[in-house]
Structure 1
Amino acid sequence: MCAFSSVDPEELTLSGSLEAVEGQVLNLSCHASSSNPPVKIRWWLGYKELNNTIVKMEEGENGGMTTTSNVIHWVSREENGLRLTCEAFNNGTHFSKIQAAKLTVYCK
């Protein structure tokens, strides 16, 4: 019988443009490096959770799994200056890590 070894991801990377003209679509990605068990990823814009996501898990290093979440979001001028947050978490290990940046929305 093998002992279960829990490993949290060392890196969490947020990528994509955080600038857009109102009405445009943002395509952003958040990638968590290998972990065991794999993490889940949530997106927040201000205090609102963004749910229009596509999640992909792949085999990672040392028997773990990587998690990548892509989000698509149509921006409005009211969202200018809000904090966009990618949160990787694991309820089993109580792990949580975030990457965040400010959204810039230009008026038409």
Structure 2
Amino acid sequence: MEHGPEGYFPKVGTYRIFKDVCNNHTCFDLVYVSYIVGTKGMRRLAVVSKKKELIGVYSGFNEDPIEVHGNSLIFPVSEAGSEFGFKIEFSGKLPPEQAYLDGEFFILESQP
């Protein structure tokens, strides 16, 4: 999956791929992209199965993720703000239906 799901992510953008985010049940690959449409910045995270099938996409992040720790994708939220969410934890057979980051909920869209 070189440029995300065909026709959904642009070919021009800043991509980061986090491979093998694993838990006791399965592994996911995460494809993060930030790009500009007109004057609006976009940030999206695709969750892909090990069979390279798109599971879903989270959209609308305010910050770019920094790294993976274990089965969690970490975002740059200060320790003081950590009560408002700073990671997406991929601990089940499927990714979480919603992520809580920096006081906001982000929904996993199964059909982007």
Give TM-score scaled by structure 2 length: 0.29
TM-score normalised according to structure 1 size: 0.29
Higher RCO (CA-CA < 8 Å; seq separation 6+): 1
Structure with greater Cα Rg: 1
